[in-house]
Structure formats: structure tokens, C-alpha cells
Amino acid sequence: MRKNASIWKKILAQKELYIMIIPCMIITFIFCYLPLGGWIMAFQNYKPRANMGYFDQEFVGLKQFEFLFKEPEFWNSLRNTLGMSLLNLVFGFFFAIVFALLLNEIRNKGVKKITQTVSYLPHFLSWVIVCSLISNMLSTNDGPINNILLSIGLIDKPILFLGEPKYFWWVVVIANIWKEMGWNSIIYIAAISGIDPSLYEVAALDGANRFQKMWHVTLSGIRSTIVVMLIMNLGWILNAGFEVQYLLGNNGMLVDVSQTIDIFVLKYGMNIRNYSLATAAGVFKSVISIVLVFGANWIANKFGENSLV
């Protein structure tokens, strides 16, 4: 009873914060949880008809999933999604941490603020604008990248970066790093600011140089943050993206390496109008993401690291 009274006392002491959360909870419920009722379509042969609800449709059990797992196009989409997601996770994670470490070493506050601001700006650009910039940069018709490579003698003729499948994944990864590196580093910069400055002083007294302090003090101080962020990012492993792949790879030359699960869902849901198959693909994606999050969280607990729960 005392424990319950203590909890209610804390809630009442922070009632303004809980009142502010209510609109967010309502919006989350409406746009994130309420649509989950549509998952029932994955177990039906859904055909939109007037005056017919979800439960009036023909139920087919796991037939849509059976068809999905036998469809080569789905497995190709899964391969592309995992490939680009893993590359984005590894390189995006690495560069965000490195950028935060290097930014922390800048002593001039003015330069540090300008660097932070410039690095954050690409995050707020639409992928439509970013993809347009990428297309211009990689163009074979007087594109800056090809011009530079030609001028220094690395290539004899312009490379069709957006026409050859072997380049596409790397173009997507580099675009994601450029756009999101500064934004993704915010959480690490915040974690670094919470490290006790006396730890750096002790390390300096022990003869540690700048790099050693970064490795043994800074990285150790944000290790728990890195683990938590890794667990959260694993939940998005099947979210390689939609806009950049669709905008840059929506042509016959790149379709085999550009189509992700999201594009697969759009194709079958909107173009072919097989709503049940598209829903089944979305359900598969969501279930795998949940399993990955709980799996990573369990591994973190086993190794004594901080976890989400």
C-alpha cells in the first residue's frame, strides 16, 4: 500500500507532464495502434466492396504467407532490404559515433556550434531534394564526381553510377550517411557531455594522450548509450528506406537491387491491388522487427549491458 501511495504521490507531483503526454498518447494510438486491426487482411482474400466490413471477407488462413514465401520477388526485396539496412547500420553507426568524438575535441565554441549546425541541416532536407542533388552530382553529363575522377586520371570515361547495379547500394549508404550523420550524433554528444570532467584529468595525470582519452574515457562513458541505440536500430533493420530507393532506382536497370520490402508492398498493394499479400508482407516485416528488438535486448541483458527493459 505504501508503495502504491508513493507512486501516486510522484504522479500527482508531475501531473502537468502527464497531462502534456495525453495528446501524444492519443495520436500514437490513432495512427500506430488502431491501424493494426487491418492486419486481419493478411489472413483474407480481401477485395474492397461496398457495404462489406473486414469480417465479411473470405478468410484463407496462411495462404497469403505461403504465396509470399514462394514469391522470388519477395526474397529479392528482402535481400535488398537487409543488404542496405546492414550497410546503413554499420557505417551510419560508426560515422555518427566518430563524428561525435571528433566534435567533442573541438575547443573553440564558435567553430563547434557552426560545425554542429551545418551537420544537422541535411536531416531537414526532403529526400526529393537530396536525390535530385545526388543525380546531378553523379551525372555522366558534366557531373562534378565524374569530372573530378576524369581530371585526376582515375577513369577514362564517365561512370553511370545510377545505371549500374554494383554501385547502387553504396550510393544509398553514402547518401544516408551524409543526410543523417549529424542528426544521429546528437544523442552521443549529449551522452559525452554527461561524462565527469575529472576522469579526463585523471587520465592526463596517468600520461594518456588525446587519442587514449577518447578511447578509454569518452567511449567507455557512452558505451551504455551505444548499446541502447544499437538495440533500437536493430528494430529498424527491415526499414532500409523507401524514398531514396524509389527515386533513384525506379528504372529497369536497377530494379533488381533497388526494390525493398516497402516498395514491394506499394507495388502489390496499390498497383496490383493485392491488398492481402501487401498486408502479409507488412506483417512479416513488423514481426521480424519485434523479434530482433527483443533478441538484442536479451543478449544485452545476458552480457550485463544496459538494455531497454
Whether 8 is in a domain gets the answer no
Q: 68 lies in a domain? A: yes
Neighbours of 166 (CB within 10 A): 8
| Assigned domain for 240 exists | yes
Q: Return the number of other C-beta atoms located less than 10 Å from residue 260's C-beta.
A: 28
| Nearest residue to 81 (alpha-carbon basis) of 254, 272, 277, 236 | 236
Report yes or no on 30 lying in a domain: no
C-alpha cell of 240? 532500409
Q: Please give the chain's pLDDT, 309 residues, in tens.
A: 555 667 778 878 888 888 888 999 999 999 888 888 888 888 888 887 756 666 677 888 888 899 889 989 999 999 999 999 999 999 998 999 999 999 988 888 889 889 988 999 999 999 999 999 999 999 888 889 999 999 998 888 888 888 888 999 999 999 999 999 999 999 999 899 888 888 888 888 888 888 888 888 898 889 888 888 888 888 788 888 888 998 888 777 888 899 999 898 888 887 778 888 888 888 898 888 888 888 877 877 776 655 555
Phi, psi of 59 (to 5 degrees): -85, 135
Please name every residue paired with 61 in a beta bridge, in sequence order, or none if there are none: none
In this predicted structure, what is the pLDDT of residue 181?
Answer: 92
Query: CA-CA distance, 78 to 39, in Å (whole number)?
Result: 20
Q: Report if residue 37 sits inside a domain.
A: no
Gap between the Cα atoms of 269 and 277, Å rounded: 8
Lookup: cell for 258: 533497388
| C-alpha distance across the termini of the chain, in Å | 25
**CATH number for position 116:** 1.10.3720.10
Provide the domain limits for residue 115: 64-302
Q: 51: which DSSP letter? A: T
The H-assigned helical ranges of 107-164 are 109-120, 127-137, 144-151
Q: Is residue 57 part of a domain?
A: no
* Distance separating alpha carbons of residues 8 and 25, to the nearest angstrom: 20
Residue 150 lies in a domain: yes
Residue 245 to residue 171: CA distance in whole angstroms: 10
Q: Give the total number of structural domains in the chain.
A: 1
Q: Is residue 13 part of a domain?
A: no
CA-wise closest residue to 245 among 142, 153, 165: 165
